[in-house]
Amino acid sequence: MTKPERPIAKTPDVRISFEFFPPKSPDMEDQLWQTVQALQPYQPDFVSVTYGAGGTTREPTLATVKRLIADTPLATASHLTCVGATRDEVRAVVEEFQAAGVRHFVALRGDPQGGMGSRYAPHPGGFVNAADLVSGLRDLGDFEISVSAYPERHPESENDDVDLDMLKQKVDAGATRALTQFFFDNDIFERYLERVRAAGISIPIVPGIMPIQNLTQLKRFASMCGASTPSFLDERFEGTEGDAQARAAVAADIAAEQIADLSRRGIEEFHIYTMNRAPLTIATLERLGIAAKVDKVSNAAA
């Protein structure tokens, strides 16, 4: 089989961040820390750890965040949701994470307790939405606060104007950065960014990049969260069935090409959804000419 062509796209000046999720088993925990160790030398601006709606992963998220802060030099952000919790319960969680050293939160409303696709209802006595949560965080401390943004609109938004208004509410409440839902059509992102700026929103809008670990699973997830999967993805993966190495090469090519194209359009920051796996993320960065940095102190002591 002919190997997919490797693009040469030197964009070493871009800034990156990584997303991890808390492990659910000892094997997954080992995989996570192997991934952290492999990606740490790329010196991301920050890393974030996801947090289940209603605090369903509070303890594993907190444990992961604590270890990242204690054992690595990585600036670490924790996701925070307000679904299924009172204001006092959320505040207690914030204080617990703050005591662990967290100074950056990714504030999200969270999926409805009935799962994606079900109707959302605020918890009695809880924060109404993500904008309300951001405001609550602002009252508790001088945090860096990232929020979500949706180039293809949140599935629950009636239209683009409603969706954009929610982002503006989050910014007005004190958000300092927006991390987008993954997307694959850069023209969609560029049009979205134009609307965002026209609305007077000036905070960084950081593209969320999803290297494709499994195209079938990605399509299923995308259909639930309102993200499109362009036909060119099928075309690029055609002929790679049964060849894991070829599929991984195509996936890295696609992610690297997407970042390189966005960089040419003036975007400087990217948030990579690692899925707790390093190889595909590293392959993407290598295609962009982004090399791991050698720790001079450790190297000298070796």
Residue 237: closest CA among 226, 249, 219: 249
Q: How many CB atoms lie within 10 A of CB 211?
A: 24
Say if residues 219 and 261 touch (Cβ distance below 8 Å).
no
Transcribe 271-287 into DSSP letters. Answer: EEE-TT--HHHHHHHHH
Question: Which is catalytic among the residues 5, 19, 158, 269?
Answer: 19
Q: How many CB atoms lie within 10 A of CB 93?
A: 20
Say if residues 36 and 20 touch (Cβ distance below 8 Å).
yes
For the question of residue 19 being annotated catalytic, the response is yes
Tell me how far CA of residue 271 lies from CA of 54, 146, 175, 195, 220, in angstroms: 24, 11, 17, 21, 21
Say if residues 42 and 16 touch (Cβ distance below 8 Å).
yes
- Exposed e or buried b for every residue in 129-156, given b needs 16+ CB within 10 A? bbbbbbbbbeeeeebbbbbbbbbbbbeb
- Exposed e or buried b for every residue in 271-285, given b needs 16+ CB within 10 A? bbbbbbbbebbbbbb
Residue written as token pair 């594993």: 60
Say if residues 257 and 10 touch (Cβ distance below 8 Å).
no
Please report, as a single letter, which amino acid is at residue 170: K
Active-site residue set: 19
